[in-house]
Amino acid sequence: MPELPDVEAFREVLATCGQGRRIEGVEVRDESVLHGIGVRRFVRELEGRRLRAPRRHGKWLLGGTDGPTLAFHFGMTGELRCTRDAEPGTYDRVLIAVGGGRCLHYRDQRKLKGLWLLDEAGVRRLLAGLGPDAAAVDRADFDRLLLARRGGLKSALTEQSVLAGLGNLLADEILWRARLHPSRPAAGLGEAERRRLYGALRGVLRTSIDAGRVPPRGSWLTGRRDDPGAACPRCGTALRRGRIAGRGTYWCPRCQPAPA
DNA sequence: CTTTATGTTGCGGG
DNA sequence: ACCCGCAACATAAA
């Protein structure tokens, strides 16, 4: 599930539930979601810390404290919830009690990613490996990264070291809205096409962040991807499906003509 | 049984 | 150096 809009919603959860509060207890129910640290030290380092305003960069959520930073990555199936006296479910891997009966649940079925505990240098190293946040990048930087990129648009948009935050669904949605084929060379776009792409990026992210997810609406390409033989919501042409940059990719062959 | 899944990483090859 | 495809990670569903 998680792409940038989902992680932004988790940031909101962490802020509402935990910001300014002290961590009263930490229960690790599945050690394998912890990275680079064992249970004992993880618990010891966090208990008693006060949570600061959480930050998000791309798909990373950074839960700052008056000590180390708790970094979350949600992989494909992770989520963060704030509960009151709720019994943990099967996939609730880490529970963080923050007082007032509130408890944060890090839930993840597939455990492709997990939690890190980082010092300032660790946070710097993490951010240094990421491109600008897709929701914050300005037009000039966006142009620069496209022009510096060899290879196709789809991989440029989804490569986190180039631009942080977009996943497979959002990339397809943005390219469809901008009427650009996912295999078009990134550096080969004209000025007007880059403007269109940036506009689509802003529009899709705005709507998705407001919704707290990638909206599964019928007027969006995303609403059609599970529907074989589906038609383009704009022109009615049958959508094409293929494997581009290693991911299942959808596009409209009429709205998004293939590169020569 | 096989294929696919909105995540990333590491490896081999062009 | 850069980019691509592919396998791997863990788990469920079609």
CATH of the domain at A228: 1.10.8.50
Is residue A33 pLDDT above 90, yes or no? yes
Could you tell me if residue A237 is inside a domain? yes
* Amino acid whose CA is nearest the C1' of C6: A246
Cβ A240 to strand B below 7 Å: no
Instruction: Give the Cα separation of A158 and A60 in Å (integer).
Output: 14
Cβ A248 to strand B below 7 Å: yes
- Choose between A100 and A69: higher pLDDT: A69
Q: Are residues A124 and A152 in the same domain?
A: no
Strands A60-63 and A55-57, bridge-based pairing: antiparallel
Is residue A99 pLDDT above 90, yes or no? no
Could you tell me if residue A133 is inside a domain? no
Q: Are residues A196 and A143 in the same domain?
A: yes
- Catalytic, A59? Answer yes
Could you tell me if residue A256 is inside a domain? no
Q: Are residues A155 and A243 in the same domain?
A: yes
Residue A232: what pLDDT? Answer: 87
Of A73, A105, A128, the position where a domain reaches its end is A128
Q: Are residues A9 and A118 in the same domain?
A: yes
Of A128, A155, A175, the position where a domain reaches its end is A128
- Taking only the tens place, the pLDDT of each residue in A228-256 is 678 888 888 988 888 898 898 999 999 99
Q: Are residues A8 and A122 in the same domain?
A: yes
* Amino acid whose CA is nearest the C1' of B4: A248
Q: How far is the CA of A73 from the C1' of B8 (A)?
A: 10
Residue A180: domain span: 139-251
- Catalytic, A233? Answer no
Q: How far is the CA of A69 from the C1' of C6 (A)?
A: 34
- Taking only the tens place, the pLDDT of each residue in A152-193 is 999 999 999 999 999 999 999 999 999 999 999 999 999 999
Q: Please report, for residues A69, A80, A119, A153, A165, the alpha-carbon distance to residue A45 in angstroms, rounded to integers and kept in the order given.
A: 10, 20, 11, 42, 29
Q: Are residues A245 and A213 in the same domain?
A: yes
Q: Which listed residue (A22, A50, A52, A247) is catalytic? A: A247
- Taking only the tens place, the pLDDT of each residue in A192-234 is 999 999 999 999 999 999 888 877 666 688 777 767 678 888 8
Q: Are residues A163 and A76 in the same domain?
A: no
Residue A218: what pLDDT? Answer: 64
Q: Are residues A109 and A57 in the same domain?
A: yes
Could you tell me if residue A258 is inside a domain? no
Q: Are residues A9 and A120 in the same domain?
A: yes
Could you tell me if residue A45 is inside a domain? yes
Could you tell me if residue A91 is inside a domain? yes
Query: What is the number of structural domains in chain A?
Result: 2
Q: Are residues A107 and A192 in the same domain?
A: no
Of A96, A128, A160, the position where a domain reaches its end is A128
Q: Are residues A20 and A85 in the same domain?
A: yes
Q: Are residues A11 and A113 in the same domain?
A: yes
Residue A216: what pLDDT? Answer: 65
Could you tell me if residue A260 is inside a domain? no
Percent of chain A with pLDDT over 70: 97
- Catalytic, A154? Answer no
Q: Which listed residue (A49, A59, A107, A113) is catalytic? A: A59
Length of chain A: 260
Q: What is the mean pLDDT of chain A?
A: 92
Q: How far is the CA of A161 from the C1' of C4 (A)?
A: 16
Cβ A158 to strand B below 7 Å: yes
Could you tell me if residue A149 is inside a domain? yes
